[in-house]
Chain A
């Protein structure tokens, strides 16, 4: 498309002005996390008089962050892995064999995008399975919560994977297991990464579910652990913002590293759904 360069520059400038509406609020957090409690009391864009790195030191030491960071990492990544594994398998079969039953199963998974989770009954189910208050329990719940959207993603993506490959593999004598894991699954990489990350984020950002399902302090993830420690100081805006920065940072790094996949996978998945 041919366009006047001036017009293009104007458009670029305009879009950046719009982008400021995203960047300004976010920079507000960082700026205020470096202030003293007094200064941050009225939240403003003014720069801090003196950078208060001590806020970070305090949050890091007091919140026992390393331990809870690994808890979060464990819960988020294992649940995302389980969720991705089971949904990619399911979606593969649902796409390839669209008989009446499988169509119904697909709609059955779709219900999960809409239906309300009930914590009390969830606890009761976990108790029956002897999984209440355990890592496996909460990991399976996080994995399950991610299933509906992941089915949706994989279903769309797999629809675009040509069936010729399947046919060749079947002629070579592959069973379903080998066909899927050594032929098809590697092709799903973009959407797998997307699904993994969205699931990971869901678990990482979930503050409420662990309140109900985990009774043990040494098992809490980062958000909950920090909250536990700082609950009392929760009216100091500088500490609130420090905590936000610390919990968002790992997510942000993950996002920046994998953003190509997140966006492309989400798109290819949802377009064909």
Chain B
């Protein structure tokens, strides 16, 4: 290798400085305020240590519930986004004639603002909205629900919309992963008499593991940070059935309890960081062993 001195760190500096000043500095400010009782009802801000965090984890309030909702939202959406993305990618990888058009269509929702998607689905999921109309039309009356207000379905409905939005994005990433697998492997396997299922489990899946890992991390980050789609669809309601961490952050902020609002968003941050780090650890270990 050449002398690496030429790759001067000066080149990193513009991005580093911009990012430090306009992103990290405000975030650190937020971290500091999370240890205070800053509220716009008080004349002074005082340091209260971990009190906000204690309240989040040990009070019987709705904070724990929103953490629970966030985690289950993340778990389900990650599984389904990846699953549906994988199925779509496999279908498209079969040499369909209209592959390009289909790929464009499935990726389309990712281009739209989640707020706009929220507005669209509020009307689609209403009790007399198009979804129920379709269900009634094909004779599945018993499956109709008031999707965004029924307590058994509302959280699931928000997950469904998120999956709708992001499945195509997963498909695109997995599709690319599939295309890096050389055809010769399949041909060799076919010569050995391996069936399609065997080819899938012994060639496709192992080669896809790195792609799936990255997609999983990004999906988890998206899941734990969920806000706009729920904000637009239900605003955390009805009651607190779809309250997630970031809708609570927003709520605390609007009542002027800035300290608490910052503490909550730090909790979301720490969760995401921990999970992302864990997965990175696992995946790098796996890479090393294989």
What residues make up the interface of A, taking CB atoms closer than 8 Å to B?
A: 1, 3, 8, 11-12, 14-16, 18-19, 21-26, 28-29, 32, 42-45, 82, 85-87, 89-90, 92-94, 96-97, 99, 101-102, 105, 108-109, 111-118, 120-122, 124-126, 129, 140-141, 143-145, 147-148, 151, 163, 166-167, 170, 175-176, 179-180, 201, 205, 207, 223, 237, 240, 244, 247-248, 251-252, 255-256, 259, 262-264, 266-268, 270-271, 273
Q: Which residues of B contact A86 (CB under 8 A)?
A: 14-15, 18
A259 touches B104 (CB 8 A): yes
B56: CB under 8 A from chain A? no
Asked, given contacts A15-B102, A201-B111, whether A120 binds B258 with beta carbons under 8 Å apart, the answer is: yes
Q: How far is the CA of A129 from the CA of B268 in the complex (A)?
A: 29
Main secondary structure of the interface of A (DSSP, over half): helix
B258 touches A244 (CB 8 A): no
17 A-B pairs with C-beta separation under 8 A? A28-B130, A44-B130, A90-B15, A96-B7, A114-B269, A114-B273, A117-B23, A120-B29, A144-B23, A176-B11, A255-B108, A262-B107, A263-B107, A268-B176, A270-B215, A270-B218, A271-B176
Inter-chain CB contacts under 8 Å: number = 221
B113: CB under 8 A from chain A? yes
Asked, given contacts A43-B123, A43-B130, A244-B116, whether A90 binds B26 with beta carbons under 8 Å apart, the answer is: no
A90 touches B12 (CB 8 A): yes
Asked, given contacts A105-B12, A121-B25, A124-B29, whether A18 binds B266 with beta carbons under 8 Å apart, the answer is: no
A266 touches B116 (CB 8 A): no
B269 touches A116 (CB 8 A): yes
Q: How far is the CA of A120 from the CA of B257 in the complex (A)?
A: 12
Q: How far is the CB of A233 from chain B (nearest CB, A)?
A: 14
B85-111 interface with A by 8 A CB criterion: 88, 91-92, 94-98, 102-109, 111
